[in-house]
Structure 1
Amino acid sequence: MSKPTKTQAELIAMARAELKVHADCPDGIAIFVLRSEESWEFRTEADEATIAKPGYPECVAMIVQIGDHLSKQYDVQG
């Protein structure tokens, strides 16, 4: 049985919504979907000023955890 699919934008929006509930993250963190053959995961990018802000490492770790959780529930569309 296959998993339901979501677009990259939908998955990123879900991650951002969940992140707001669990963490006080600095603005400026970009989230991308990185696909592999059988799965996908989130990757982040930020400028040096954002990386230097308090809470940045914790937010990136949380984004990775959210991606792991969502990738077990959804496939990426297209």
Structure 2
Amino acid sequence: MSKPVKTEAELIAMARAELKVHADCPDGIAIAVVRDGESWEFRASAGAETVAKPGYPECVAMLVQIGDHLSKQYDLAE
């Protein structure tokens, strides 16, 4: 049975919503969806000023966990 399909924008919006609930993330974090064969994962990027802010490493770690969870529930639209 196939998983429901979501667009990159929908997945990023879901990730941002979960991050707001679970972590105190600094502004300025960009989230991208990277296809990995049949699966996908989130990638975070930010400028040096944002990376240096408190909470950034925790947000990236939380984003990885959120991506792992969502990738088991949803496929990425072509």
Q: TM-score w.r.t. structure 1 length?
A: 0.98
Give the CA RMSD over aligned residues: 0.4
Any runs of at least 4 consecutive aligned residues in structure 1 with deviations exceeding 2 A, and if so which?
none
State how many pairs are aligned: 78
1:49 and 1:9 mapped to 2: Cα distance?
Answer: 25
Q: TM-score w.r.t. structure 2 length?
A: 0.98
Name the counterpart of 1:29.
29
Unaligned runs of 5+ in 1: none
Unaligned runs of 5+ in 2: none
Name the counterpart of 1:42.
42
* CA offset digits 1:10-62 (Å, max 9, x no partner): 00000000000001100000000000111000001100000000000000000
Structure 2 counterpart SS, 1:2: coil
Give the fraction of aligned pairs with identical amino acids, expressed as a percent: 79
